[in-house]
Structure 1
Amino acid sequence: MSKPGTDGGPSQSGARRFISGVVEGFYGRPWTMEQRTDLFKREQKWGLNTYLYAPKDDYKHRMYWRDLYSAEEAEQLIALISAAQQHDVEFIYAISPGLDVTFSNPKEVAALKRKLDQVRSFGCRSFSLLFDDIETEMCPADKQAFSSFAHAQVAITNAVYQHLGEPETFLFCPTDYCAAFCTPSVSQSSYLHTVGEKLLPGIDILWTGPKVVSHKISVESIEEVSSVLKRAPVIWDNIHANDYDPQRLFLGPFKDRPTELIPKLRGVLTNPNCEFYPNFVAIHTLATWCKATTEGGQRDVEMGDEEQDPCYSPQRALIMALTDWLQEFMSTDQPGARLRKEASDEEPMQTDMGESAYVPGPGENRLYTAEPLTLDDLKLLSELFYLPYEYGPTARTMLQELDWLRNHSPAATEQTDKTAEWCSRAQQFDDMCEAVVQMFNRLSNAPNRSILYDLYNYICDIKSGVGLARAYVKTLGGQGQPSAQLMNNDPEPWGFRGGLSGEFQRMLPCHGNRDLFRHPPTTAVYCIRPYCPDDKMEVQRIFREMQRAGEGKVPLMTQPPRICDGLSAGEVSPSPHCALVLEDDTGMCGYALALTDAKPAAAKIQRAVGDSMFEDFPSLVTMQVLPRVTDPSPAKRMIGQLLSSIRSSGSRGAFCELRQSDRRMLDFYTKLGSFKPINTAGLPQDIIAMGTGL
């Protein structure tokens, strides 16, 4: 795998060049032809080399994929492909037939070939077939013709690839395009194995990482999927995508992808925000990341992070991008920019020749003059609209300060000695709010209106939210009557957020549990200690509580028991040194128990288990934690200590049994990485066994 050159061209070794660039693959209004041409200029300037055309709302790309382009549409695509070529950007045309294609019908395959032949006649030489976000159930005709959904997709993709003469760049997007979609895991996915084995080797495969929107993409995860796919993937990166939430925008840097990934990938394409102009940061920082290993980046010592990538600093990349973006904000040469009259020898135009310019008198308001936008303004903007999994430093500080001010207000506490500290921190919070307001004002007066119009809804929203918080803090400090802006029994429509969608979310039990800033913060102190006989009743209580929570439509009393149920219910005693309990400041909130020899417990419930199962996994573990434990770390520590004790007893392996309805614990064991699904005779239909070697 070649590393990207600074010009995005092929490496000197002759290997295929590293694919780097942008995929227009979001749901929503597609970009205009003018914006796409602007994108090609930026890609060429920054060293990126690829554009994947896949807008979900181009109806001839997806819903009406069989329809040929009209003469007018063809003219636009020809111009777009030509513009990409003029800027040394590889134009990849993608088509998504998966909504309704019948894979086994030769007429459907012919229609797909005919459509791509038309696009090839426009000058396009690179193509992509996408099967993302579609139903996985095949129609009866396809079930008769193909042994699996994967075989059907591979057959049509290989046929089209060969029909087009096996182009150098041909991308395939699988239906299971991230680890979270793979059943039961990436390494054991029959779908991915079929794709890897049957898809022709010249076809590259798109992959989004551990999730649809991946927080981090590790080298280990890419090595795992590459092994299954038998080729290095092309990352379709949704880190800056915002089409799933109209209230969010992402202006933070490309990060949490180590540059060690570059030689292990075929390429990286970012699928960014729906709004075109705010993607400056996303694309600029991706370009910096792609060039990091060739230009010799360096550690950002200011970050103080020992795990920081030695070749790429997200913070430095962000400052570089914002510095360049500031020039565009202030430019009147960009499309949509507001023309400003510069100083000249011409006489200013007078609308009323009888009056001179207004000058305010003593005690009157001074004239409003807009100050120019600054780099600090753009840094603040980025931190307020950072990334899907984190806020920028200033945004985090504001949330933390508001939380502290709310919980320590003079009215809520009787500790007068803290009043001075509260007032000082309230003033600091007010200063931060004022900085947001001033940023909004300067941004609103920047010459380039095209960028502003893409940002306007978001900056108006954050200004309003900050204003409400600011008024609330003033009220807590006793500075006047409660503001009319604050929520009351008869609020103004603009005083709350969310509309009908927000109403639905607030009625659901999960509302708020995925906020990036959580209250109470996930810094609770947990205690893990050995189990003692007095804990039996509490363990049983937790066991029964979690049973009731997972009953669903089928009562557990009618379902076959698990081997571990007797252990949690106190009918079977755990093995010595193989029992732990978890406590927080409220009391016991979890437990982890084990049997070094699970055969007697299996016999007690008359479960037939093959001897080979107990040879590989003689020990049994069970664990449960209450939902109030939102931090997975204590559970991981408990299971680690438990497995260590089992190993010291001489056991070769341990297994657990989970009900399919217990998605929480299934997710926990899967993410541990060491536990894998195991097939064992006599396992009831609704129970899944997972084991790990010791």
Structure 2
Amino acid sequence: MSKPSSAKGQARSETRRFISGVVEGFYGRPWTMEQRTELFKREQKWGLNTYLYAPKDDYKHRMYWRDLYSAEEAEQLMALISAAKLHNVEFIYAISPGLDITFSNPKEVSALKRKLDQVREFGCRAFSLLFDDIETEMCPADKQAFSSFAHAQVAVTNEVYQHLGEPETFLFCPTDYCAAFCTPNVSQSSYLNTVGEKLLPGIDILWTGPKVVSHKISVESIEEVSSVLKRAPVIWDNIHANDYDPQRLFLGPYKDRPTELIAKLRGVLTNPNCEFYPNFVAIHTLATWCKATADGGPRDVEMGDEEQDPCYSPQKALTLALTDWLQEFLSTDQPGARLKKESSDEEPMQTDMGESSYVPGPGENPLYTAEPLTLDDLKLLSDLFYLPYEHGPTARTMLQELDWLKNNSCAATAETDMVMLFIHSFTNTDNVVHMLCSSVTNNGVLQTAEWCSRAQQFDDMCDAVVQMFNRLSNAPNRSILYDLYNYICDIKSGVGLARAYVKTLGGQGRPSAQLMNDDPEPWGFRGGLSGEFQRMLPGHGNRDLFRHPPMTAVYCIRPYCPEDKMEVQKIFREMQREGEDKVPTMTQPPLICDSLSAGEVSPSPQCALVLEDEIGTCGYALALIDAKPAAAKIQRPMSDSVFEEFPSVITVQVLPRVTDPSPAKRMIGRLLSSIRSSGSRGVFCELRQGDRRMLDFYTKLGSFKPIEMAGLPQDILAMATSL
């Protein structure tokens, strides 16, 4: 008598190998048969064992899932399955019927079985049913037949699994395939609990982690979902996926997944970049991770000091991958590669062979000689195109240096139209846009020695990017280059604009007039219509790697000078008049900071900023390091303990025409930095309860909290932050 399904599934789970490999599951042009065969060779070489066939744009995988494969298509799939077997890679055929299947219709289920039977005839022995990225509303017929969407999916999946003879490997992708999709959460999700209870135990479940593209996957999160699913999941990892943004590419290492997970998972499959050849790093580093052992035994990569995982170092795994990848770049025997000129018995087209090769004479240009690509070039390339939630070390340094150079410049030559051009140029390309949202000061062109030194270092880093681009462009393996070319052209152009901007800040003349005039070439600003739409939407970029969203207008934040006094007073009076609609000014008790805005008290040195837009001054941020004299001036009683903890006072005001909160946030950030540099321990502000706009602003900053102050008038409240 045969074992029941549950017993068979449990017995097999104790002996099955850890699934490791690649899922071709992205949206976009599928890989070619030749590329997939090359993938199998790499997987075998690196110790991976699985390939999941699930390209979203294979019509007969998803949109026309009912249609059987033609004789020609069948021949290709049979060849692919045979190639996988030849390299000891398990070929899993996935099908996605969820777009339009009627679960309760026996004819639909029969069509699904018939399709999988055909693939089984091709030699495939492992299968997967995917119900990701579909509508969750059931049709009326299914609502009558099933109590929930989960019950419908599970019923069909179990039936198909048993029809196929309960294959050793059978994967199910739920519609709620990450924690972010679960309602109200993972442990209380009725959908996941139904799947865990009703799905036959021999069926494995795919899971992407906390999010669709998960930054980190913790042991605790996997233990939680395993408890609900009643089995260890197979991670479908989108850490290197780029099908959601055609301007991103990910060449960083597999990371932020502790090797402790290996013992708690059924397997890991990476769903990488759409472009085949750049996936060398993603797959290579995953293979290194999969070989890590939690018991401290032999491993390919020793831990670095900067790493926390005792079994795996992402940076050293990356170096290993890039070292191997360099040999591929330098090889000419890859498909589509440029071959060296070989001798031939055929008669050459040029019959005059008497002349020797050209040698330039004195004073003439030397012959162009391509420099070979280096490992440092590939490390730089990886840094520039690292991972979804972080840039590589060099890229971070470049962004930080550009920010410092901009904020500490005294150049007078950068004008508003140039800053706008840079914002257009970098939006949707990389996050340099956030470094260019405020213009430079207008105090002359003399730079400090430190500024000049760091500007030169930044220029050297930019030059390294250009040289890397040149060497990549001359690499013998053209197949890899063609997959990378659009990306490296884009970053070279962006870095070139930033480089020109810094030179302008240093007083080295304006950059190319073609770039910086009022009618630039289209290659001077990228993004197209999509970029224009995004720039017009509020809060665009608030989840980007840098937290300051790009602005739809150009603002200049600069130090306050005595000539600004009248403009500040004008803004102060205008905002007072706006408040008079609620409470007349004469009946309102004064604020400590009113004397600052009214010009009766001068702000402390280095503690005053003004905000300008294309119309003129539109805001200010002022501070007093010691607020006691201003409090005494209006006879405001305050305890010494408050002044001891929060000795400084600030006031920030921005005209209503400034609808973007980012410039005010940047202005107050710079002001707080200056106050901190003066030695102050904390800062407070006073607000009228009717000023909902500024109350909302300080609240959303996050750092300012309401504090108790004895002696405050009834309609005034205080907020403060420690420095």
Same fold by TM-score, threshold 0.5 exceeded? yes
* Rounded Cα–Cα distance in structure 2 between residues aligned with 1:586 and 1:369: 61
* Rounded Cα–Cα distance in structure 1 between residues aligned with 2:699 and 2:378: 37
State the match for 1:295 in structure 2: 298
Which residue, out of 454, 467, 472, partners 1:425? 454
* Rounded Cα–Cα distance in structure 1 between residues aligned with 2:495 and 2:79: 45
SS of 1:31 mapped into structure 2: coil
State the match for 1:507 in structure 2: 536
State the match for 2:256 in structure 1: 256
CA contact (8 A) 1:174 1:205 kept: yes
Percent of residue pairs identical: 85
SS of 2:93 mapped into structure 1: strand
Give 1:423 shift.
Answer: 1.2
Give 1:352 shift.
Answer: 5.0
State the match for 1:240 in structure 2: 240
* Rounded Cα–Cα distance in structure 2 between residues aligned with 1:205 and 1:149: 16
Give 1:403 shift.
Answer: 1.3
SS of 2:327 mapped into structure 1: helix
State the match for 1:59 in structure 2: 59
Letter of the aligned partner of 1:65 in structure 2? W
State the match for 1:646 in structure 2: none
Letter of the aligned partner of 1:385 in structure 2? F
| Residue deviations 1:567-615 (CA, integer Å, cap 9, x gap) | xxxxxxxxxxxxxx9x9976799xxxxxxxxxxxxxxxxxxxxxxxxxx
Letter of the aligned partner of 2:90 in structure 1? E
Give 1:416 shift.
Answer: 8.2
1:635-646 matched pairs, under 5 angstroms? none
Give 1:429 shift.
Answer: 0.8
Letter of the aligned partner of 1:460 in structure 2? C
State the match for 2:627 in structure 1: none
State the match for 2:178 in structure 1: 178
State the match for 2:147 in structure 1: 147
Identify if the C-alpha distance between structure 1 residues 95 and 505 changes in structure 2 by more than 3 Å, giving closer, same or farther: same
State the match for 2:77 in structure 1: 77
CA contact (8 A) 1:298 1:310 kept: no
Identify if the C-alpha distance between structure 1 residues 265 and 631 changes in structure 2 by more than 3 Å, giving closer, same or farther: farther
CA contact (8 A) 1:240 1:282 kept: yes
| Residue deviations 1:337-362 (CA, integer Å, cap 9, x gap) | 11124899x99997754644333333
Identify if the C-alpha distance between structure 1 residues 631 and 95 changes in structure 2 by more than 3 Å, giving closer, same or farther: farther
Letter of the aligned partner of 1:387 in structure 2? L
Give 1:628 shift.
Answer: 7.4
Residue 475 (structure 1) aligned with residue 478 (structure 2):
no
TM-score, length basis structure 1: 0.72
Give 1:401 shift.
Answer: 1.1
Alignment: residue pair count: 535
Which residue, out of 491, 496, 502, partners 2:520? 491
Letter of the aligned partner of 1:106 in structure 2? P
CA contact (8 A) 2:174 2:206 kept: yes
Greater Cα shift, 247-256 or 412-421: 412-421
Which structure has the bigger radius of gyration? 2
Give 1:520 shift.
Answer: 9.1
| Residue deviations 1:244-295 (CA, integer Å, cap 9, x gap) | 0000000000000000000000000000000000000000000000001163
CA contact (8 A) 2:323 2:375 kept: yes
State the match for 1:272 in structure 2: 272
Give 1:497 shift.
Answer: 1.4
Letter of the aligned partner of 1:295 in structure 2? P
1:445-484 matched pairs, under 5 angstroms? 445-484=474-513
Any stretches of 5+ residues in structure 1 without a counterpart? Answer: 1-10, 522-536, 539-580, 590-623, 642-694
Letter of the aligned partner of 1:247 in structure 2? Q
* Rounded Cα–Cα distance in structure 2 between residues aligned with 1:178 and 1:584: 46
* Rounded Cα–Cα distance in structure 1 between residues aligned with 2:195 and 2:55: 24
Give 1:297 shift.
Answer: 5.9
1:15-414 matched pairs, under 5 angstroms? 15-293=15-293, 295-296=298-299, 300-303=303-306, 305=307, 308-341=308-341, 352-353=352-353, 355-411=355-411, 412=441, 414=443
* Rounded Cα–Cα distance in structure 1 between residues aligned with 2:286 and 2:99: 31
Identify if the C-alpha distance between structure 1 residues 309 and 352 changes in structure 2 by more than 3 Å, giving closer, same or farther: farther
Identify if the C-alpha distance between structure 1 residues 298 and 60 changes in structure 2 by more than 3 Å, giving closer, same or farther: closer
State the match for 1:547 in structure 2: none
* Rounded Cα–Cα distance in structure 1 between residues aligned with 2:149 and 2:180: 18
* Rounded Cα–Cα distance in structure 2 between residues aligned with 1:281 and 1:111: 39
Residue 443 (structure 1) aligned with residue 443 (structure 2):
no
CA contact (8 A) 2:542 2:548 kept: no
Letter of the aligned partner of 1:425 in structure 2? R
SS of 2:332 mapped into structure 1: coil
State the match for 1:608 in structure 2: none
CA contact (8 A) 1:472 1:483 kept: no
* Rounded Cα–Cα distance in structure 1 between residues aligned with 2:503 and 2:348: 45
CA contact (8 A) 1:410 1:422 kept: no
CA contact (8 A) 1:297 1:310 kept: no
Letter of the aligned partner of 2:467 in structure 1? Q
* Rounded Cα–Cα distance in structure 1 between residues aligned with 2:651 and 2:390: 29
* Rounded Cα–Cα distance in structure 2 between residues aligned with 1:209 and 1:375: 33
SS of 1:205 mapped into structure 2: strand
CA contact (8 A) 2:541 2:548 kept: no
1:539-558 matched pairs, under 5 angstroms? none
CA contact (8 A) 1:300 1:315 kept: no
Any stretches of 5+ residues in structure 2 without a counterpart? Answer: 1-10, 412-440, 551-590, 593-645, 654-660, 662-693, 708-723
* Rounded Cα–Cα distance in structure 1 between residues aligned with 2:44 and 2:205: 24
Give 1:136 shift.
Answer: 0.4
Letter of the aligned partner of 2:475 in structure 1? A
Give 1:512 shift.
Answer: 2.6
Identify if the C-alpha distance between structure 1 residues 355 and 271 changes in structure 2 by more than 3 Å, giving closer, same or farther: same
CA contact (8 A) 2:172 2:206 kept: yes
SS of 2:457 mapped into structure 1: helix
Greater Cα shift, 329-338 or 120-129: 329-338
* Rounded Cα–Cα distance in structure 2 between residues aligned with 1:390 and 1:276: 22
CA contact (8 A) 2:44 2:88 kept: yes
SS of 1:63 mapped into structure 2: coil
Give 1:491 shift.
Answer: 1.8
CA contact (8 A) 1:96 1:130 kept: yes
* Rounded Cα–Cα distance in structure 1 between residues aligned with 2:389 and 2:543: 10
Letter of the aligned partner of 2:498 in structure 1? A
Identify if the C-alpha distance between structure 1 residues 487 and 23 changes in structure 2 by more than 3 Å, giving closer, same or farther: farther
Identify if the C-alpha distance between structure 1 residues 77 and 336 changes in structure 2 by more than 3 Å, giving closer, same or farther: same
Identify if the C-alpha distance between structure 1 residues 459 and 479 changes in structure 2 by more than 3 Å, giving closer, same or farther: same
* Rounded Cα–Cα distance in structure 2 between residues aligned with 1:238 and 1:439: 28
Give 1:408 shift.
Answer: 1.6
* Rounded Cα–Cα distance in structure 1 between residues aligned with 2:17 and 2:650: 56
CA contact (8 A) 2:447 2:506 kept: no
Give 1:179 shift.
Answer: 0.4
SS of 2:448 mapped into structure 1: helix
Letter of the aligned partner of 1:102 in structure 2? T
CA contact (8 A) 2:285 2:321 kept: yes
CA contact (8 A) 1:292 1:311 kept: yes
CA contact (8 A) 2:22 2:283 kept: yes
* Rounded Cα–Cα distance in structure 2 between residues aligned with 1:472 and 1:275: 32
Give 1:75 shift.
Answer: 0.5
TM-score, length basis structure 2: 0.69
TM-align CA RMSD: 3.3
Identify if the C-alpha distance between structure 1 residues 12 and 23 changes in structure 2 by more than 3 Å, giving closer, same or farther: closer
* Rounded Cα–Cα distance in structure 2 between residues aligned with 1:629 and 1:471: 39
Identify if the C-alpha distance between structure 1 residues 415 and 336 changes in structure 2 by more than 3 Å, giving closer, same or farther: same
* Rounded Cα–Cα distance in structure 2 between residues aligned with 1:366 and 1:584: 66
Greater Cα shift, 504-513 or 377-386: 504-513
Identify if the C-alpha distance between structure 1 residues 392 and 50 changes in structure 2 by more than 3 Å, giving closer, same or farther: same
CA contact (8 A) 1:405 1:425 kept: yes
* Rounded Cα–Cα distance in structure 2 between residues aligned with 1:502 and 1:212: 24
